[in-house]
Amino acid sequence: MSDHQSFRPALSRRGLLKGLGAGVLLAGAGYGAAHADTEIGGCDALVIGAGFAGITAARELRARGLNPRILEARSRIGGRTWTDTFAGVPVEMGGEAVDEKQPNVWREVQRYGIPLGTTLPAERLYMPQEFGVYDALPAAEVGPRLSQLFTPFFSGSQDMFPRPYEPLYRSDLVVPADSKSFRTRLDELGLTTAERLWVSGSFSGLAGGDSSRGAYTMLMQSWALSGHNFQGYLSVNTYHPTNGTQALLRAMLADARADVRFNSPVVSIEQTSSRVRVTTRGGQVYTAPVVVLAVPVNVWRNISFSPGLPAAYPQISTQGIGAPNVQKLWLLIEDDQGQFATQPPEGTVLGAVRPHTRTPEGLVMFGFGYDPNINFNDRAIVEQHLRRVVPNVRVKAVKTHNWATDPYALGGWSVRRPGQLAGPFPQVQQPRGRITFAGSDLANGWSGYIDGAIESGATAARQAAAVVGTPALAGVR
C-alpha cells in the first residue's frame, strides 16, 4: 500500500463489524520536495497513530463535532496490540488484557458488547531452585507462597497511592521513592536465595529483562490500582476479547468515522500560530489546526519537531518508557505435558511461559524473551531453552514479534524508569502549542495496558478540542 491508501469506516457500526535519534526533538528539519501546493488539508485534527490511544482520540474528537484524520505508519490498526493467527487460533502479538478493575476499557467492552474469554489455568508451575534446578509444583501450592513473598514488596502502597489515578497526589512520599528500582526494593527485603529465585523473574520480566530498569513506584501504583492485594494484582491479566483486540478497535473506529491513511510514518511536525504541518516519509504533507501525537514515547526521538520541544521530551524518549528487548512468543507444544507454566529467575534467556488455548494440534502457550541476541523464531532454539526448565518438552512451532526492533514501537509495554515520574513524566503529558500527546505510556492510571491508552487518548482529545477553540497559543511563534 502507498502513503495515499486510506480506510474510511462506514457510518454503520454493524456493517463495519460484519466486514472484517533524540536531537530531532530539539530542532526542526527541512521537508525536502514537499511544497505548500501539495499540502493535504480538509480535517479539523490530525491523529498520528491508530492504536487504542489514537482511535480513542479520533472518536472523542468526532463526538465533539470535529473531523479527524488518522495517519498510521503500519498497514494495520492496533499499535502495540495486534490480533494475528497461530496454530489455527486467534492470538495477540501484543497486549490483550482487560479487566473490570480497569474502568476505561471495561466501559468500552460493555458499550460495544465485546465477548471476553480467559486463558487456560496452569495446573502446575516449574519453580526455580538453587543450582539451576526446577521443581514442578501444584499451582494450588505455589499461589499462597508467592502471595507471601510478593506482598511485603508493596508495603505502604495505601499511603503512597491512596488515589492511584493521581500518581503524584502524595508527592511527599512518591518523589523520594521514585529513585528506587525494582531491584533496589528487592534488596531491601532481605530475601533468601531460594525466595529471590522465586520472585526475581517476575520483576525483571516486567522491566524487559533487567530489574534495575523498572521504577519501584510504577509497581506500587499498579498494586494500588489492583486493590492493594496479591489476588487483585494477579487477576488483572485474566480476561481478553474472544475475537481479538481488533474487534474492539474496529467498533471504536466505526464511531470515529475517521479517514485513516496507512503506511504513513511521520518524520516531521511543524507548528505555527494557526496550524500544524505534518510530513510523512513518503513526502506527503498534511495540515490541520491541531495534532494528537499518539505513538509510543520511545518513537518520539525519530520525529523532527519545529519549534523544538522542551528538554523533558527528548530526555524521556531517549531513556524510553516502553520496555526494551521484549519479544513475545507463541508456542505450539506437544500436548503430553498437561497445562504447565514456568517461572524462571532473572537472567534467564527465555522468560515465563503460560498456557493459553488447547487445540487438536497441541497446547498453545505464550511467553517472552528478553535476549536481543537470541533468534526466538527458531523452533529448535526455543525448545532448547524451554527444556532447561521442562525436560523432554516438544515445541512443534513458534511465532514471534520483536517489539524492541519494531521501528514504530521500539519497545514493549510501558514501564517507567526510576526518576521519571518525579522528573519529566508530568511535563510530557502536557500539550505543546498545537500538539497534544497520547498513549498508554502517558496514562495516569493503567500505564502499560489498553485501559491506559484509552484514558490517555480521551484526555488528549479534550486537550485538542480546547486548542482548536483557543485563538492565541502561548509558546508558539
Binding residue per annotation — 199? no
SS3 label, residue 6 = strand
pLDDT number for residue 430: 98
Which are the contacts of 175, defined by CB distance < 8 A and separation ≥ 6?
A: 168, 422
Q: What is the pTM of this model?
A: 0.91
Give me the phi and psi of 438, to 5 degrees please.
-140, 160
Q: Is the pLDDT of residue 36 over 90?
A: no
Q: What is the pLDDT of residues 193-250, one digit of tens each?
A: 999 999 999 999 999 999 999 999 999 999 999 999 999 999 999 999 999 999 999 9
Binding residue per annotation — 73? yes
Concatenate the DSSP letters of all residues of 284-339 into one string.
-EEEES-EEE-S-GGGGGGSEEESPPPTHHHHHHHH-SBPTT-EEEEEEE-SSS-S
Find the mean pLDDT for residues 385-392: 96
In a shared domain, residues 106 and 190? no
**Per the domain annotation, does 126 fall within a domain?**
no
Tracing cell 500500500 back to the chain, one arrives at 1
Q: How confident is the model at residue 9 (pLDDT cuts 50, 70, 90)?
A: very low
Which are the contacts of 381, defined by CB distance < 8 A and separation ≥ 6?
A: 374, 375
In a shared domain, residues 311 and 328? no
Give me the phi and psi of 3, to 5 degrees please.
-60, -25
In a shared domain, residues 289 and 420? yes
| Pick from 34-43, 294-303, 320-329, 343-352: least confident | 34-43
Tracing cell 497513530 back to the chain, one arrives at 49
In a shared domain, residues 75 and 92? no
**Per the domain annotation, does 408 fall within a domain?**
no
Give how many domains the chain has, as a whole number: 3
In a shared domain, residues 318 and 179? no
- Residue 417 is given by DSSP the state P
The answer to whether the CB of 214 falls within 8 A of the CB of 415 is yes
| Structural domain span for residue 215 | 140-232
Which are the contacts of 202, defined by CB distance < 8 A and separation ≥ 6?
A: 150, 343, 352
Q: What is the pLDDT of residues 354-377, one digit of tens each?
A: 999 999 999 999 999 999 999 999
| Pick from 128-132, 193-197, 416-420: least confident | 128-132
Binding residue per annotation — 266? yes
Q: What is the pLDDT of residues 269-289, one digit of tens each?
A: 999 999 999 999 999 999 999
| Nearest alpha-carbon partner for 442 in 49, 66, 180 | 49
In a shared domain, residues 251 and 311? yes
In a shared domain, residues 398 and 423? no
Q: Residue 224 belongs to a domain with what CATH number?
A: 3.90.660.10
Structural domain ending residue among the three candidates 377, 402, 427? 402
**Per the domain annotation, does 127 fall within a domain?**
no
Q: Mean pLDDT score of the chain, rounded to an integer?
A: 92
Taking the C-alpha atoms of residue 429 and residue 233, their distance in angstroms, rounded to an integer, is 26
In a shared domain, residues 95 and 58? no
**Per the domain annotation, does 133 fall within a domain?**
no
